[in-house]
Structure 1
């Protein structure tokens, strides 16, 4: 397979790498290059590492040129391959949210949680064994912290809402945010005549409606031109997409509260959330068959129902 099959080169030295997780253009990692220095933002799972290294080679850099590996948070579609990747990068430091650092240094509890959610067979197939990152190669970030990549500033913002251990990265060079899951998900196959469609990401177990609104407001306050979503790629019109995204989040919360005591709550949440997403797609002009929409969104419907279910149990 050629790197052209899984890499998209954007302006400002940014390469979008399709990690190959689940299906094409589902899960991305970003390679950022400046003056001969490189950083990875998110990594995908272990199976993505050969693609990440091939992308680096394709832009003409040695592994020693990588200064940073930066997971936005420790969910395994974002950070599962980080430890294995770090083994291949002699000069790289991991920059990680302080709440997530211990899970990268000792991933035992993280892996147990993944097996509990997905089952042992699926967890082993999709993620494999997580590789610990030596503690002396880990630096924790703080809100407002700035690092430089070949002279290019990258600034961190603490962005809870999807997860408490989530940060986003501001790239002044292109006035864009690397958003992980804080700004939702925009699968290319669901783009509408009005542009990308953003579906919320409320996977268990740390969804926080108020914190998510505040995080998105802070991201927009920077007046970004682009958002770089792990699922999937660069999207424009952040202000418009934020309205769509947060309106669906709020509607999900209303429905979840209504169903809090309902029998078979999980299945009812799944049905209700599917209806919310499909209605928004129709408002945006999508004419794709409903069966296709449900198929593409099936994983997110399931995880979002789990996430709101966990939220209801806490409240």
Structure 2
């Protein structure tokens, strides 16, 4: 299958088919005829996941866990539909996300506030609910088993307050959702990945994100599996780059003047300048128009998220 990539330790990356190839990965952990799924993509991704399971020789009834790193719809939009096809699976989601999986109405409304209702429906379709008795709240430190395979859940706020990361003891690797940033294969140079923080609306918290990255690194991971996009190694270097680029983006936001559209435009221009500087630092051979196109959606969302964070900081200062 062209949209499935095999990685070590029985891990498969399934391209979610979200917006473009290579943007979002759904990860399958295959172990002795069973499977765990990390993130689900959208409703449109479900047939790909089921086909990948079949190709790996896993029956739908033998999927033990569907784990959501967080409930943003590019990660969780297909959860309800996928769970309908997996009769014995349990859905693992941050405690803050449980009610939104049971009744996705507010999740839909929040996403529509960012993208607009028409675009939200086009991107994600209708969200199916999940019965509460099939949901396991992913409390910090929760241990999950799949035969002899073990996973540990850790709470990782910063990108969102409802974010978890999943430690795979066999692979010595984390499934990181958006906490360990974004790393697209088009921007690799001789196999050397580039990583960029995700500061999307509406719960970006730089201090919490720094702390979550440090906590993950304390496990000594050999690899990270990012939703955007899949496996990276050289994690010590990448963690350092993430810390640096979080601070750089925050500085751009803090230097912006005014409010509303003018401030957003200024922040976005500052983020684009960061990317130009990174292009030189990383040695990219892509033309500027090409690498900006790879990061276009993320830069726009980061600019929005930084604006929301600035407003929250101002409101907090006024109430002290």
Given the two structures, how large is their TM-score scaled by the length of structure 1?
0.97
Q: Corresponding residue for 1:186?
A: 183
Map 1:136-285; keep pairs closer than 5 Å: 136-193=133-190, 195-261=192-258, 264-285=262-283
Post-superposition offset of 1:68: 0.7
Post-superposition offset of 1:278: 2.3
Q: Secondary structure at the match of 1:184?
A: coil
Q: Corresponding residue for 1:306?
A: 304
Post-superposition offset of 1:271: 0.7
Post-superposition offset of 1:287: 2.2
| C-alpha separation in 1, matches of 2:208 and 2:170 | 27
Post-superposition offset of 1:261: 2.9
| C-alpha separation in 2, matches of 1:265 and 1:206 | 19
Post-superposition offset of 1:61: 1.2
Q: Corresponding residue for 1:288?
A: 286
Q: Corresponding residue for 2:4?
A: 7
8 Å Cα contact 1:260/1:312 also seen in 2: no
2:122 to 111, 120, 125: 125
| C-alpha separation in 1, matches of 2:178 and 2:203 | 12
8 Å Cα contact 1:192/1:281 also seen in 2: no
The list of structure 1 runs, each at least 4 consecutive aligned residues, that deviate by more than 6 angstroms after superposition, is: none
Deviations 1:173-227 (A, max 9, x none): 0100000000000011011247111111111000001100100000001110000
| C-alpha separation in 2, matches of 1:191 and 1:84 | 34
- Relative to structure 2, which stretch is displaced further, 34-43 or 158-167? 34-43
8 Å Cα contact 1:199/1:277 also seen in 2: no
Q: Corresponding residue for 1:45?
A: 42
2:86 to 72, 86, 89: 89
| C-alpha separation in 2, matches of 1:21 and 1:194 | 24
Q: Corresponding residue for 1:79?
A: 76
| C-alpha separation in 2, matches of 1:125 and 1:203 | 20
| C-alpha separation in 2, matches of 1:134 and 1:24 | 32
| C-alpha separation in 1, matches of 2:190 and 2:197 | 20
8 Å Cα contact 1:194/1:285 also seen in 2: no
Given the two structures, how large is their TM-score scaled by the length of structure 2?
0.96
| C-alpha separation in 2, matches of 1:161 and 1:281 | 25
CA RMSD after TM alignment: 1.1
The unaligned stretches of length 5 or more in structure 1 are none
Q: Secondary structure at the match of 1:248?
A: helix
Distance 1:260 1:70, change over 3 A: farther
Post-superposition offset of 1:11: 1.6
Q: Corresponding residue for 1:297?
A: 295
| C-alpha separation in 1, matches of 2:20 and 2:28 | 20
Q: Corresponding residue for 1:103?
A: 100
Post-superposition offset of 1:260: 4.5
